[in-house]
């Protein structure tokens, strides 16, 4: 399974249908298309095309329903590069990825601003490829986990090489934080942030192994439950 994939709707190389067919070929059970929402950072989906995006992925969901589960996500650049005050409510989406939350290196807005945004959203929120051990190094970890739990904000385990340090993915560098997370009802997602290489569709094994190592299965199942209940499948 892979819940972070980009297509030609934003800055990816392949169409959603090519990705779906390749995922089926690789015997992947679940995928989510998560293209970029309107941002100055990269090619992205303008607000006026969100309905077309939803319709496109829904059509693929129906067409391949007997072969694979397809979820509809989107990724928001949580920084001045995005008009945060004008975000839509993302009604009809299974979940929304927010990247660069509290990431000063990318001019990311602080976590508390996300709480204000969350009030008007109609889809679950997940922190995408967040370097938690760096971005929240000055935070009380127990307090942070309690806040994430109370706001039902999930965290992604991202296996893309861009989100590593010396070959170690961000989530493994935050081992103690995730070890404590198993005691909280915080959803955990997995994804490879695939853009141009179809082989990355199946490259989430380390994240799934990490879930088993730290006994985070409950958190992962919580994410699946949240996104599974948003739309009729």
Cα(126)–Cα(160) distance, integer angstroms: 16
Question: pLDDT digits over 104-157, tens only?
Answer: 999 999 999 999 999 999 999 999 999 999 999 999 999 999 999 999 999 999
Residue 232 pLDDT greater than 90, yes or no: no
Q: Which pLDDT band, with edges at 50, 70 and 90, does 212 fall under?
A: very high
Task: Answer whether residue 26 is part of any domain.
Answer: yes
Task: Answer whether residue 233 is part of any domain.
Answer: no
Task: Answer whether residue 162 is part of any domain.
Answer: yes
pTM for this predicted structure:
0.96
Count of domains in the chain? 1
Task: Answer whether residue 203 is part of any domain.
Answer: yes
Choose among 6, 72, 17, 3: nearest CA to 233: 72
Q: What is the pLDDT of residue 219?
A: 98
Q: What is the pLDDT of residue 228?
A: 86
β-pairing verdict for 164-165 and 168-169: antiparallel
Q: What is the pLDDT of residue 230?
A: 43
CATH of the domain at 195: 3.20.20.140
DSSP code, position 157:
E
Task: Answer whether residue 223 is part of any domain.
Answer: yes
Q: Which domain holds residue 177?
A: 2-228
DSSP code, position 14:
S
Task: Answer whether residue 93 is part of any domain.
Answer: yes
Choose among 205, 197, 126: nearest CA to 159: 205
Residue 229 pLDDT greater than 60, yes or no: no
């Amino acid at each position: 399974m892979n819940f972070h994939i980009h297509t030609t709707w934003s800055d990816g190389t392949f169409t959603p249908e090519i990705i779906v067919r390749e995922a089926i070929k690789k015997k992947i059970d679940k995928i989510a298309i998560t293209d970029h929402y309107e941002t100055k950072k990269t090619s992205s989906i303008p607000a006026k095309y969100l309905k077309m995006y939803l319709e496109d992925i829904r059509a693929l969901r129906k067409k391949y329903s007997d072969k694979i589960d397809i979820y509809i996500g989107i990724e928001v650049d949580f920084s001045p590069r995005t008009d945060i005050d004008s975000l839509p409510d993302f009604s009809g989406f299974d979940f929304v990825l927010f990247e660069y939350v509290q990431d000063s290196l990318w001019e990311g807005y602080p976590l508390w601003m996300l709480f204000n945004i969350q009030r008007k959203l109609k889809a679950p929120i997940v922190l995408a490829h967040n370097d938690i051990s760096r971005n929240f190094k000055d935070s009380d970890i127990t307090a942070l986990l309690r806040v994430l739990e109370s706001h039902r904000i999930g965290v992604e385990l991202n296996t893309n090489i861009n989100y590593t340090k010396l070959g170690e993915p961000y989530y493994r560098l935050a081992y103690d934080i995730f070890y404590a997370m198993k005691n909280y009802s915080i959803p955990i997602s997995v994804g490879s942030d695939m853009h141009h290489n179809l082989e990355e569709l199946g490259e989430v094994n380390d994240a799934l192994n990490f879930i088993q190592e730290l006994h985070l299965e409950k958190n992962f199942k919580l994410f699946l439950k949240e996104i599974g209940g948003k739309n009729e499948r």
